[in-house]
């Protein structure tokens, strides 16, 4: 059921992005795909007991429809803190972008994520923010912070540092 829900949300985000592109983009702007890799510093914080944290890896892929809007997917795994291991996280997000300078952007993300830890498997609304700086026209470095889950019993957050390659 969770996979069906996440798939439906991702399809809705893709449709919204295509609509936004068709209505608000200049006619000469071509959608720009990108791929990124990050080191993921995650933290599982239960309401009771001590928190767990570790380091994993995350792959990001997306399409920028213009300078202000993109759709992005995350796939992450890895890291173990004693009794808790991140098997995977997978999600789809709408990305609002604020260009500060030609080579520097701030952005916000909102969407849905499924997180599979060896102690639990949950999905839900996710949000976060980050910044990105262009090193070359096709290579950028960036950082973000995501609240992947805010369950009634715990939160699952992650900060990341990585690179992005634009095609």
| CATH label of the domain that carries residue 17 | 2.40.160.20
Report the phi/psi class of residue 21: left, alpha or beta, with left for phi > 0 and alpha for psi in -120 to 50: alpha
Q: Could you tell me which of 75, 43, 82 has the C-alpha nearest to residue 57?
A: 75
pLDDT by 10s per residue, the chain, length 167: 444 444 444 444 444 444 444 444 445 678 999 999 999 999 999 888 889 999 999 999 999 999 999 999 999 999 888 889 999 999 999 999 999 999 999 999 999 999 999 888 999 999 999 999 999 999 999 999 999 999 888 999 999 999 999 99
Count of structural domains, the chain: 1
Structure tokens at 101: 């300078």
Where in the sequence is the domain holding 151, given as residue range(s)? 2-166
């Amino acid at each position: 059921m969770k996979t069906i829900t996440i798939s439906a949300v991702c399809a809705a985000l893709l449709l919204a992005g295509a609509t936004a592109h068709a209505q608000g983009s200049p006619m000469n702007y071509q959608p720009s795909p990108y791929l990124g890799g990050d080191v993921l510093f995650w933290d599982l914080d239960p309401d009771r007991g001590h928190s767990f944290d570790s380091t994993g890896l995350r792959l990001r892929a997306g399409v920028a429809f213009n300078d202000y809007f993109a759709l992005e997917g995350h796939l992450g795994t890895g890291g173990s803190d004693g009794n808790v291991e991140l098997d995977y996280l997978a999600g789809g997000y709408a990305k609002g972008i604020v260009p500060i300078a030609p080579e520097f952007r701030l952005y916000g993300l909102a969407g849905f994520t499924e997180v599979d830890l060896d102690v639990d498997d949950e999905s839900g609304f996710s949000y976060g923010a980050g910044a990105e700086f262009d090193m070359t026209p096709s290579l950028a470095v960036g950082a973000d912070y995501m609240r992947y889950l805010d369950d009634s019993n715990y939160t699952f957050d992650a900060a990341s540092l990585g690179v992005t390659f634009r095609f």
